[in-house]
DNA sequence: GTACGACTTAAAGCTCACTTGAGGTCAAGG
DNA sequence: CCTTGACCTCAAGTGAGCTTTAAGTCGTAC
């Protein structure tokens, strides 16, 4: 069992955020010693998963939908696949943007919005816009 | 020349956000008819670029650093390469997460945090955590 | 020429994801 | 026993990125 400072040290996540995550139901403390929370080492994996999800652009609520408080992926496999597909779409966009930026950093054209290579790269990502629902 | 409602219709970006972006210097209106802003159609490309950057997790300020208000990429090629590298790192994370979710959706293991395939996939992405500065 | 409605401004408000601060509790050490 | 200090709670504050609201302006249609 780890107390909150050990979790902070090993995860790099501040105590205030840990308490916030617990309040939100994303992690669970296994009990208390007096007032003080005790965490199982499993929480470190869960925190890593949360950090990963956040980095992937998911909100805490969405992450809560993918993984329950024990860190197990949610049972609804359809949702997991849906999220995976969303990530795939995102990856395509980001790849296009990365290539666009690399091209812009190297291409001497005066106006990139009129540079064919640049536009073609961006178009891959921009094409998705119309098929998106929102935000 | 487009007035603000045409830009709203064609871009899907609300007028309030367009005014906010202009205030921030991310886009520029080409003039006014009376009080009313006029936009060149180029602003649609810029808005798409902004949406893409946002989706990639960049802040409006960062996007402002990559592209000026006319939509041209920043003259500072080092910045562009830096952002491209950041995107590359992000893409690796997202790919790992996508694979992790796909695996979770299909793998019958009771505890994914103890599933080797799952852990291996996640580790790819998490490796970056330690080398990150903050936020 | 005046009424309408689409636009304008400035300021305040909202959500998310936390952080900060004030004041309280409790286990361990001296 | 009593102090220390690490932890606690609850409420308010923060910054990004907008949205909403209230009050005003202007071109067009009648």
Mean pLDDT across chain A: 88
| Rounded distance between C-alpha atoms, residue A105 and residue A87, angstroms | 26
Poorest-pLDDT segment among A3-17, A38-52, A92-106, B100-114: B100-114
Please indicate whether, in this complex, the C-beta atoms of A93 and B56 are within 8 angstroms of each other.
yes
Cβ atoms A27, A43 nearer than 8 A: yes
* Residue segments in chain B with a per-residue pLDDT below the cut of 50: 129-135
| Smallest CA–C1' distance to C16, residue | A59
Cβ atoms B100, A22 nearer than 8 A: no
Q: Which residue of B has its CA nearest to A46?
A: B113
- Tell me the shortest Cα–Cα distance from B94 to chain A, in angstroms: 6
Element (H, E) at A120: helix A116-126
| Smallest CA–C1' distance to D7, residue | A36
Please indicate whether, in this complex, the C-beta atoms of B72 and A125 are within 8 angstroms of each other.
no
The pLDDT score that the predictor gives to residue A57 is 87
DSSP code per residue over chain B: -EEHHHHHHHH---HHHHHHHHHHTSS---EEETTEEEE-THHHHHHHHHHHHHHTT--HHHHHHHB-TTSPBPS-HHHHHHHHHHHHHHHHHHHHHHHHHHHHHH---S-GGG-HHHHHHHHHHHHHHHH----
List pLDDT tens digits, range B27-49. 999 999 999 999 999 999 999 99
- Tell me the shortest Cα–Cα distance from B132 to chain A, in angstroms: 11
Is B121 or A22 the better-scoring residue by pLDDT?
A22
Please indicate whether, in this complex, the C-beta atoms of B77 and A125 are within 8 angstroms of each other.
no
CB distance from A133 to chain B under 8 Å?
A: no
Instruction: Report the distance from CA of residue B54 to the C1' of nucleotide D27 in Å, as an integer.
Output: 36
The pLDDT score that the predictor gives to residue A14 is 97
| pLDDT (mean) for A74-96 | 90
Nearest to B42 by CA among B54, B50, B53: B50
User: Residue A113 pLDDT > 90, yes or no?
Assistant: no
Extract the tokens encoding A117: 């290579």
**What pTM did the predictor assign?**
0.87
């Amino acid at each position: 069992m780890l107390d909150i400072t050990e979790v902070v040290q090993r995860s790099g996540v501040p105590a205030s955020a840990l308490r916030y995550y617990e309040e939100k139901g994303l992690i669970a403390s296994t009990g208390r010693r007096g007032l003080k929370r005790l965490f199982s080492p499993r929480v470190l994996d869960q925190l890593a998963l949360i950090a990963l999800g956040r980095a992937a652009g998911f909100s805490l609520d969405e992450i809560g939908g993918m993984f329950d408080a024990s860190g197990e992926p949610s049972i609804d496999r359809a949702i997991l696949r849906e999220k995976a597909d969303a990530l795939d779409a995102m990856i395509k966009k980001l790849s296009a943007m990365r290539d666009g930026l690399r091209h812009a950093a190297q291409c001497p054209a005066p106006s990139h919005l009129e540079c064919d290579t640049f536009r073609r790269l961006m178009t891959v990502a921009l094409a998705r816009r119309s098929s998106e629902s929102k935000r």
